Structure 1
C-alpha cells in the first residue's frame, strides 16, 4: 500500500511552500527583517483577533510573497518563544494528519480551512519537531518562483533530530523525501542532505545539546554574510553560531531576532 501511495502523489506533495513567523511584536519584527533581508511588510488581514502580514520581495508586478507573520496567540504567550515555522504542501491534509498520527507523530492542530488559501494542520514528527502541512487551493494566477538564490528567499530547511535514520524513514513515508548524501561530522554523526523530488532542499543532523528539543530551522539567502550580520547587530539581533563555511563553498550563520526567534542566513560570499 505504501508503494502505491507514493506512486500516486503529485509533483508538489512534500514541497516546502511557505515560512511563517509567530512573534510577540509584529511591528518591531517587521522593521528588523526589512533591514536585514530587504523584505517589505504588507498587511493581509487586519482582523483585530487574527491580523496577518506578508513578507515580500521585489516591486510592483514582480513583487513576490515569500513568507508571513502573525502575532503570538494569547493562549501561547509565555508557553513558547517567538519562532519560525515551515509549511509543506500535501495532496490531502486530512489523510496526512492521520498518517502522521498512525506513524508515531502528533497532530497539534486538526485540519481546518483558511478561506481562499487552503486547508492546513499543525503536526509534529515522532521526536516532536513541529511542521505545518497544507493542501493549497488551486490558483489561476500563480506567480513564478523567485530566482534561485535571490536575496531574502528561503534557501534551506534543517532538522535537528534524535535519530537521523529514523527521521529519514519517517519523512520518506510522509513526504517521499529521499537521502541525497551524507557528510561525516565525526562524533556528531552524519549530516544528511535530503531531496524532494530529486532536488536537495535541506539537511538533518543529530540535535545539538544547545537545542532543548528537536526542531526545524530555516535559512534565508543574503548576498554577503558579513554585511547581513552587521545589519542583524544594528537591528538588535544576535549571532549565536557562525559564520561557518559549509560544503559547496557557502557560508552560514544562526541568529536570533530581537524577539528571540531563531533564523539562519546563507551566502555564497562571506
Structure 2
C-alpha cells in the first residue's frame, strides 16, 4: 500500500503539487455540519477551519495542522446522497470536463472558482459514480498522508470494470493493470508507474440502494478499535473488520449515512 498512498514522504507530508490524474482531495456534503465535524473529530482527531464558501458553508479538516479533507453543508432543500467524493488533480479543469462529456460522463457542478484556492468541477462517470476534479491554485489538496486519520486509498465500486476503466483512462490518463482471477473483477489504476486507485466490479452483488460509487479509505492505527468507535459515535458498521490484500479493513457509515472504509495498512 505504500504505492497507493504514494505521495507521502518519510514525514507523511504530501508532495507540493499532485500530478494530474492522482487523487488529491476528498470532500463530503452533509445536512448537519456541526454534528458531522464532531463525529469525525472524535473518530480521526481532526480539527477544522473555514474553507471557500462558493457552494455554501464549508470547512477543511486538519490533522497536525495540515489539510486532509473537506466537509460542506447541503442546502436544506437538496436531498442528494450523502457520500465522500474523491477529487482528481487536473492542470485544466475546463478541458478535463469537456473530455468527461465526450466520453459519456456528466458534469453536475462547474467548472467554477473556489475563491483563491483553485477551480473545481463535480462529475459522474457513465455508470453514475460521482467524482470531483480539482485544478489547484492556493490550495494544493491533501497535505498529509500515510498516518492515521488521513485518506489512504480510493476504489470505484461498480458493476463491471472493463467499460468504465476506459472512461477513466481517457479522462485522466490512467494506465490499468487487471488482477488475474477468474472470479474477481479488479483493476488497479496507475499514473507514471505509481498505483493511485482501483476499480472493483461486483456485478449483481453491487448494493442496489447505492449503485456505482467511489469508496474512500481512511488510515487508522487499529481497524477493530476504530470500527467500534464508529458505532459508539452513532455510525453504523456495514462490514465487520476483516483481513484483505490492502490490510485489515472494515466498511462503515457516519450518522448521516456516508459510507467509507477504515484501513490498517500492511507494514
> TM bucket by the smaller chain?
0.7 to 0.9
SS at match of 2:51: strand
81-90 vs 177-186, greater mean Cα deviation: 177-186
Q: What is the rounded CA distance, in whole Å, between the counterparts of 2:54 and 2:94 in structure 1?
A: 29
Indicate whether 1:120 and 2:120 are aligned. Answer: yes
Aligned-pair CA distance for 1:117: 1.0
Match of 1:177 among 174, 177, 197: 174
Aligned-pair CA distance for 1:24: 1.4
Task: Tell me which residue corresponds to 1:201.
Answer: 196
Q: What is the rounded CA distance, in whole Å, between the counterparts of 1:143 and 1:83 in structure 2?
A: 19
Q: Is the 8 A contact 2:88 2:133 kept in 1?
A: yes
Indicate whether 1:264 and 2:257 are aligned. Answer: no
Aligned-pair CA distance for 1:170: 1.2
Q: Is the 8 A contact 2:239 2:251 kept in 1?
A: yes
Indicate whether 1:132 and 2:132 are aligned. Answer: yes
**Relative to 1, partners in 2 of residues 1:201 and 1:48: Cα closer, same or farther, differing over 3 Å?**
closer
**Relative to 1, partners in 2 of residues 1:106 and 1:231: Cα closer, same or farther, differing over 3 Å?**
same
**Relative to 1, partners in 2 of residues 1:224 and 1:183: Cα closer, same or farther, differing over 3 Å?**
farther
- Provide, for residues 200-233 of structure 1, a one-character-per-residue CA deviation record: whole Å limited to 9, x for no partner: 1222112433243111110000001111112111
Indicate whether 1:16 and 2:23 are aligned. Answer: yes
Aligned-pair CA distance for 1:153: 0.8
SS at match of 1:32: helix
Q: Is the 8 A contact 1:185 1:191 kept in 2?
A: no
Task: Tell me which residue corresponds to 1:232.
Answer: 230
SS at match of 2:167: helix
27-36 vs 190-199, greater mean Cα deviation: 190-199
4+ residue stretches of structure 1 with deviation over 3 A?
A: 142-145
**Relative to 1, partners in 2 of residues 1:17 and 1:11: Cα closer, same or farther, differing over 3 Å?**
closer
**Relative to 1, partners in 2 of residues 1:57 and 1:97: Cα closer, same or farther, differing over 3 Å?**
same
RMSD: 2.3
- TM value normalised by structure 2: 0.85
Indicate whether 1:51 and 2:57 are aligned. Answer: yes
Q: What is the rounded CA distance, in whole Å, between the counterparts of 1:81 and 1:41 in structure 2?
A: 23
Alignment coverage as a number of residue pairs? 247
Extract unaligned runs of 5+ from structure 2.
1-16
Q: What is the rounded CA distance, in whole Å, between the counterparts of 2:57 and 2:99 in structure 1?
A: 31
Q: Is the 8 A contact 1:222 1:265 kept in 2?
A: yes
- TM value normalised by structure 1: 0.84
- Asked which structure has the greater CA Rg, the reply is 1
**Relative to 1, partners in 2 of residues 1:144 and 1:51: Cα closer, same or farther, differing over 3 Å?**
closer
